[in-house]
Amino acid sequence: MKVKFLVVIMLVSLSLKAQGLVYKPINPAFGGDTFNYQWLLSSADSQKTFKEKVVPTVQKTDLEKFTDQLNSQFLSQVSREMFSRLFGSAGFSAGSYNFGSFSVEIYPATTGLTLDILDTNTGDQTQVIIPNK
């Protein structure tokens, strides 16, 4: 009985064939079928939980645009005048300066004049390098 069972298992195992596993991607971006695109997009849209805020764009009138341009030019002129009084005609000089909540440190470096700007309210900082001529 055991011998017959073993013979049957051996004969069955000889007739069985293995199959290699093949990966076929679903997403068309990774080589999958292009017909899956709409299904994937609709599936992603249905799972999206946030809604975009629609901000209405308000067109400015010509008078408002003109007022904004005047303000910009006025502030630019004031800042130019302030810098020329502070730094003179020779330009920037090394040192530390405070402008409201901004702390500016100016120093020469091998690449040029370096300005380290720190906003003391938020802690944000940036570095501006003015290259040598």
Secondary structure (DSSP) of 38-63: HHHHHHHHHH-------PPP-PPPHH
Provide, rounded to the nearest whole percent, the portion of the chain with pLDDT above 70: 88
Amino acid 2: pLDDT: 80
Distances (CA, A) of 68 to 65, 76, 80: 5, 12, 18
pLDDT digits (tens, 9 = 90+) for 66-75: 888 888 887 7
Q: How many Å apart are CA 18 and CA 12, to the nearest integer?
A: 13
Give the phi and the psi of residue 117 in degrees, each rounded to 5. -115, 125
Residue pair 105/115 in contact (Cβ under 8 Å)? The answer is yes
- Please determine, for residue 91, whether its predicted confidence score (pLDDT) is greater than 80: no
pLDDT mean across residues, the chain: 81
pLDDT digits (tens, 9 = 90+) for 42-62: 888 889 888 888 888 888 888
Q: What is the mean pLDDT of residues 23-27?
A: 86
Amino acid 105: pLDDT: 86
- Please determine, for residue 122, whether its predicted confidence score (pLDDT) is greater than 70: yes
Task: Work out the widest C-alpha separation in the chain, in whole angstroms.
Answer: 111
Lowest mean pLDDT among 45-49, 96-100, 123-127: 96-100
Q: Map out the domains of the chain as residue ranges.
A: 89-132
Distances (CA, A) of 6 to 9, 14, 27, 35, 128: 5, 12, 46, 49, 83
- Please determine, for residue 116, whether its predicted confidence score (pLDDT) is greater than 80: yes
Residue pair 26/36 in contact (Cβ under 8 Å)? The answer is yes
Token duo for residue 101:
């909540």
